[in-house]
Structure 1
């Protein structure tokens, strides 16, 4: 009997969104355990969750008795354990490009805009909401402009970020665009990103991973 997969997720977490996409692309059955990042000060801070995940973040994926952390590491684990369909291309050069695009989102844009940063600005530095929103949009537009430039003139860019099928890069891009739209970023300057986002969202794996389709999403 296959070991079960359990994803600790929050409907609006872009990092959890990435992993949901990856699980869906590989058609892997999994159970979602919601971890509300805001309610009662944040369920991720509860002692029982912090004991399982000392980073006090989502996602966390349980595969049997193993607890897997960090969205990109989880996605690469899925790709190694269930290699078809692949999330990384066949050659080292192509894999480097896909990883670089994914890390542009996960390492450069997202850490500057996540909930922990915004809470620190609000509660420790008393930064007003309008200024926090400017911060969010600034770093999103900086990152998305770079992402667009890396896509727009590269021969490997096709229907998706790299080739004819979604990769790790697309798993990261779509949740980031969702966040950008949420915070009012003008997406007009990024035609390649918008085209790839539309191609991704036309696939059932991406559609099922949408935040509003999650069991903990507000009705």
Structure 2
């Protein structure tokens, strides 16, 4: 199994956590986003969007981190990353989508580069943009974790919600976001980083870290 990844990609970070939790050995193949390697011909053949991560499971190629993690859950179901019961699963997926749909797309590299390039915004304005979307959605996630969390984002065991949350709070710290208004999220962050699967997946612990 190969994972096309970049150390600071939050989407790749999610998948690394999932692979670690499930004990799946994989070969990382590094795609340097700031050098534009995601736009090269070979990579576009894997993913016409020119994005990472890309998972190659013995010739089966899966793109999009949510789809990859769902694929791993269906093909390697132990340990499970979704709770039992339709309602609980839907609630976890709602937390996943809060990050994957309402934060990350607005703050990914393509958007930030467009804000600073063609649109001419300053670094300070871009950083404010980034923090705005973090704070808007972390306020909601804080309330959801208060309702449903019992040590982790949802319940007493790690779920997909945690896999999406941790890369986002890592990036929030990179942009100097004030997180003091989110005590429940900070407790979950602390608990998750005690798990080897999360610590090993951190960007700074990757071979391509700069």
TM-score, scaled relative to structure 2: 0.98
Alignment RMSD: 0.7
> Is 2:180 aligned against 1:188?
yes
| 1:159 CA displacement | 1.1
**Structural mapping, 1:55-74, within 5 Å:** 55-74=49-68
| 1:123 CA displacement | 1.8
Q: State the distance in 2 between where 1:13 and 1:175 align.
A: 8
**Structural mapping, 1:197-208, within 5 Å:** 197-208=189-200
| 1:158 CA displacement | 0.6
DSSP-derived class of the 2:103 partner: helix
Deviates more, 1:141-150 or 1:156-165: 156-165
The equivalent position to 2:105 in structure 1, one of 111, 118, 126, is: 111
> Which residue in 2 is equivalent to 1:76?
70
DSSP-derived class of the 2:33 partner: coil
| 1:84 CA displacement | 0.8
> Which residue in 2 is equivalent to 1:46?
40
| 1:70 CA displacement | 0.6
Q: State the distance in 2 between where 1:75 and 1:52 align.
A: 18
The equivalent position to 2:203 in structure 1, one of 204, 211, 214, is: 211
> Which residue in 2 is equivalent to 1:170?
162
Q: State the distance in 2 between where 1:175 and 1:80 align.
A: 23
Moved over 4 A (4+): none
The equivalent position to 2:28 in structure 1, one of 24, 27, 32, is: 32
| 1:121 CA displacement | 1.2
> Is 2:10 aligned against 1:14?
yes
Q: Which 5+ residue runs of structure 2 have no aligned equivalent?
A: none
Q: State the distance in 2 between where 1:143 and 1:164 align.
A: 23
Aligned length: 210
> Is 2:104 aligned against 1:144?
no
Q: State the distance in 2 between where 1:43 and 1:207 align.
A: 26
Q: State the distance in 2 between where 1:162 and 1:145 align.
A: 16
**Structural mapping, 1:115-134, within 5 Å:** 115-134=109-128
TM-score, scaled relative to structure 1: 0.94
